[in-house]
Chain A
Amino acid sequence: MNIWVYIDHFKGAPLLASWEALGLAKRLGNATAVLLGHPMEEAVQAAFEFGADAVLLADDPALADYRAEAFASTLSAAASAQTPDLLLFPTTSRGREIAAMTAADLNAGLLVDVTALEIAAGRVVATRPVYGGKALVRETCAVKPALVTLRGRAFPKPEQQIGRSGPVTRIEVRAEAQTTVEGYSTGEGVSLTDAGVIVSGGRGLTVFPGLDEKSAAARGFALLDELAAVLNGAVGASRAVVDAGHAPYAQQVGQTGKLVSPDLYIACGISGAIQHLAGMRTAKVIVAINTDAEAPIFQVARYGVVGDLYQIVPALTAALKKRLGRQ
């Protein structure tokens, strides 16, 4: 089976979920990494180190900025000429969009945010969460190629083999696009979707005796930042605190925020409303810290502490720091 993997990157730096897709491709067949952008030398090298058998490359200044139409046109032209059986993408904002457009160009089947995938009788059969994660559905694709975006952290990341290399084939650039990129403004630097550990705060973070809501939230988030730092993790938030202006929208976890599947999710002062759970219930291990023993978050948590986050979080930071030997 001839499988292409679109390596999603931001200005040449690949996102982790791209390697997870490459790992799956290697298990299913022959894995060709597709890299579009500029400059791409480091990403090409990394693609081989994470297991690519071959690389298709469009490295061109006209692709220095991500523009959906140019990326999709370049990919579709190559795919209609070389007819891969399956194209994999990470479910990132760009991966989703390029896959969507390329599927439209090729009149191909599109399966989004998949968490398990098999090939049965030559057909792609995928499992994906629907209805905010309340159910899984099996999807089958009747045509070739199938385009599949894979949920981040649903598939293991392959080992990096330093120095590995392989053949690079250049593909034709189709850079004509109707969109002009005028610039970027960076957010708070959290890439929740890639994080292995997420420490999240909710409305429980806004009540501290003697402090107003804003100061309480600032104090609470500072505690979460310290815990996240010890775990090399990112900080998330519930909608309640985002709406109240205590955290940026980029940090919101849940149905109307980010969908995350970290290895460890520590929910602090979050009640566990169904819309919040929709964004994080697929985390491998969930820890809940909440003063209310009846809070629904405990129904999805593996470990719970019924207690005050302002006391438990700093103590947990200290305990983990000691054990992990981190400063």
Chain B
Amino acid sequence: MKIVVCVKTTLPSEAQIRLEGGKLIFDNTPPVINPWDEYAVEAALQQKEAVGGTVTALSIGDESANVALKHALAMGADEAIRITDSALGALDTLATARLLAAAVQKLGGVDLVCFGRQAIDGDSGVTPAQTARLLGWPALTLASAVKIEGRRIRVERSIEEGRQIVSADLPAVLSVVKDFAEPRYPTFMGKRKADRAEIPVWSLAAPAPLVAWGEFAEPPRQTAQCEIITGASPEEIAEKLAEKILAEKIL
């Protein structure tokens, strides 16, 4: 089986962000693989272990994309490819999906493409379904359990109401949620291999983005500072707090 996993480099969620004149200023926390994509790599590796094959990691971006790719290699991916485009930095999700679909087609003979559920910078969560659509393959998104038998893939999807169980023929696209399994830690040998890896770069033409990011703004702050409710007993505190909550007229 030829398996692809799409990974992105992001800032870790602990990173601090400041705003200056509508622009974002990041602290210098080192970037990491998008946390959701670790689950995608884990899913790709587990399918390889179950049915045999190879795992290729793909990432679109400048050199920083190698952070995510090297993490995938260190976890056990067989190869990694970085994809660039002259218009980098201005891709919307559909342009990203077009580049990823083009790379999957260029690789050829791919059976399964694994994605994280969303990237924690843009918080979009739509690239997997868009890539599937462009490839004309079924999208099995939000997968918490995956089983491949022959050419058939069976997936449990996490939806608002519980789980939906679906199946499809390969080739297919997967996006993976946290319930799938804890991602493995890179081994010492894996890290050494990743450090030494020369990551090839493919330059592909991306379409112009249809959606553009403009100014940034502060998220709305809580209007009032926290009001600490005190009292002589839990009951007295609770009475006061209940009054406050009801006075907000939200219930």
A182 touches B229 (CB 8 A): no
A137 touches B165 (CB 8 A): no
- Is there a chain B Cβ closer than 8 Å to A171's Cβ? no
B229 contacts which chain A residues (CB < 8 A)?
Answer: 303-305
- Is there a chain B Cβ closer than 8 Å to A39's Cβ? no
In whole Å, how far is A318's beta carbon from the nearest beta carbon of chain B?
A: 7
Using an 8 Å CB-CB cutoff, how does the interface string of B207-242 with A read, 1 for contact, 0 for none? 000111111111110111011111000110111011
B166 touches A180 (CB 8 A): yes
In whole Å, how far is B56's beta carbon from the nearest beta carbon of chain A?
A: 23
B interface list, Cβ under 8 A from A: 11, 13-14, 17, 19, 24, 35-36, 92-94, 97, 120-127, 129-130, 132-134, 137-142, 144, 154, 156-169, 172, 177-179, 210-220, 222-224, 226-230, 234-235, 237-239, 241-246, 248, 250-251
CA distance A15 to B160 in the complex (A): 10
- Is there a chain B Cβ closer than 8 Å to A255's Cβ? yes
Residue on A with the closest CB to B169?
A: A178
Extra contacts, 19 of them, besides A140-B212, A281-B219 (Cβ < 8 A), are A93-B160, A97-B141, A100-B127, A103-B130, A105-B133, A107-B210, A130-B123, A135-B217, A138-B217, A184-B161, A185-B163, A196-B250, A196-B251, A197-B251, A301-B226, A302-B222, A305-B228, A305-B241, A312-B238
Residue on B with the closest CB to A187?
A: B162
A231 contacts which chain B residues (CB < 8 A)?
Answer: 251
A316 touches B166 (CB 8 A): no
Give the interface centre of B157, B165, B234, B248 by most chain A CB atoms within 10 Å.
B234
A319 touches B219 (CB 8 A): no
A323 touches B179 (CB 8 A): no
Residues 165-198 (chain A) with a chain B CB within 8 angstroms: 177-187, 191, 193-194, 196-197
User: How many inter-chain residue pairs (CB < 8 Å) link A and B?
Assistant: 267
A187 touches B161 (CB 8 A): yes
A131 touches B120 (CB 8 A): yes
A to B CB contacts below 8 Å, 20 in the list: A69-B133, A99-B126, A100-B130, A104-B129, A105-B133, A109-B94, A110-B93, A130-B122, A131-B121, A135-B216, A137-B216, A142-B211, A191-B161, A194-B160, A250-B158, A299-B226, A300-B222, A304-B227, A315-B237, A323-B246
Which of A113, A142, A181, A305 contacts B165 (CB under 8 A)? Answer: A181
B237 contacts which chain A residues (CB < 8 A)?
Answer: 305, 307, 312, 315
What number of A residues sit within 8 Å (CB to CB) of B? 97
Residue on B with the closest CB to A108?
A: B210
A interface list, Cβ under 8 A from B: 10, 15, 66-69, 72, 92-94, 96-97, 99-101, 103-105, 107-113, 127-143, 177-187, 191, 193-194, 196-197, 231, 249-250, 255-257, 263-264, 274-275, 278, 281-282, 284-288, 293, 298-308, 311-312, 315-316, 318-320, 323-324
A293 contacts which chain B residues (CB < 8 A)?
Answer: 228
CA distance A284 to B224 in the complex (A): 12
